Amino acid sequence: MESVVLVMMVVVCFNYLLKQTWRKAYFVAVSAAVCALFVGLAWPWAIEQSKNRIAGWLADTTLMLDLAVVLTLEVALQITFCIVAAHIHSAGRVKPSVVRIYRLLRWFPGLLVFPVLFSLLVAAIFALPGVSFPLTAWSLAAVVALAVPAGAWLLKRLLPEREIRLEVLFLSNALIAVLGVIATVNGHTAVAGVTSVDWPALGGVTSFVAAGLLLGVAVFRIKQKRMNKKQK
């Protein structure tokens, strides 16, 4: 479980830095300053944590399910940004409402990075016993302030094509969603599994999907015929 959470934290940081490549330099600097201030000011709460308390949080099913809701919302927003951005770059003219949604989602940096930074601060305090807590926190804050713009610049140099960065952002968020399910469920499910198959329900769902598929094909053919008539 700890390995899954660690991998998810790394991917969250990668997503945060990748999202910065869509912003101007001054906003990246502001974002780095906010993260640095969070790390520097969070040390009074970080020193109250312990490995046993963190392990207890990971084992708390109710807390992890609540965290899964937050994780799902953020991943949904980031994936929506990818879809809207791809639509804007591929379509000729788009509605003003779509442009406003794109701009709003582009400015949304993500909130999962703050728990990751807090965990990093706790790990740094554990790894440096005897060192002043404020010194450790503000030293880490300085590292974060430099790492955010440097990481965004490096990713922009490695992935200069915006379309490639968009695809990578989409895939990494999908990976976070999968890892989030594994990490937050923690061996428990909200619904108990059954061994029998409800054949009437299965048949109803299959019929509903088939009807939707046939309806979609019919609508597509009607639209295609209308377009052919207009071209003639």
Determine the Cα–Cα distance for residues 74 and 186; give it in Å rounded to an integer. Answer: 20
pLDDT top residue among 213 and 65: 213
Residue 144: its pLDDT value, please?
93
Q: Which residues of 108-138 are buried (b: 16+ CB within 10 A; e: fewer)?
A: ebbebbbebbbbbbbebbeeeeeeeeeebbb
* HSE toward the beta carbon, residue 5, CA cutoff 13 A: 18
The band of 63, judged by pLDDT with boundaries at 50, 70 and 90, is: low
Return the top range by mean pLDDT from 58-62, 94-98, 187-191.
Answer: 94-98
Is the per-residue pLDDT at 103 higher than 90? no
Token representation of residue 204? 């109803």
The band of 159, judged by pLDDT with boundaries at 50, 70 and 90, is: confident
pLDDT top residue among 16 and 8: 16
Residue 141: its pLDDT value, please?
92
pLDDT, averaged across the chain: 81
Q: For residue 69, which of 192, 193, 177 has the smallest C-alpha distance?
A: 177
Is the per-residue pLDDT at 126 higher than 70? yes
Residue 133: its pLDDT value, please?
87
pLDDT-above-90 percentage for the chain:
12
Contacts of the segment 79-88: beta carbons below 8 A, 24+ positions apart: 79/170, 79/173, 79/174, 80/105, 81/105, 81/106, 81/108, 81/169, 82/166, 82/167, 82/169, 82/170, 82/173, 83/170, 85/166, 86/163, 86/166
Is the per-residue pLDDT at 153 higher than 80? yes
> What pLDDT, in 10s, does the model give residues 160-213?
888 888 888 888 888 888 877 776 655 454 445 556 667 788 788 888 888 888
Section 138-164 average pLDDT: 90
pTM, 2 dp: 0.71
Helices marked H in 132-198 — which ranges?
A: 133-158, 162-185
Could you identify the residue written with the tokens 């330099």? 25
pLDDT-above-70 percentage for the chain:
84
Residue 186: its pLDDT value, please?
54
pLDDT top residue among 31 and 180: 31
Residue 150: its pLDDT value, please?
93
**Going by C-beta distance under 8 Å and a sequence separation of 6 or more, which residues neighbour residue 185?**
64, 65, 68
Residue 216: its pLDDT value, please?
84
Helix (DSSP H) and strand (DSSP E) numbers for the chain: 10, 0
For residue 202, report the phi and psi dihedrals to the nearest 5 degrees.
-65, -40
- The DSSP code for 116 is H
Contacts of the segment 25-31: beta carbons below 8 A, 24+ positions apart: 25/149, 27/107, 28/148, 28/149, 28/152, 29/149, 31/109, 31/148
Q: How many residues does the chain have?
A: 232
Residue 36: its pLDDT value, please?
93
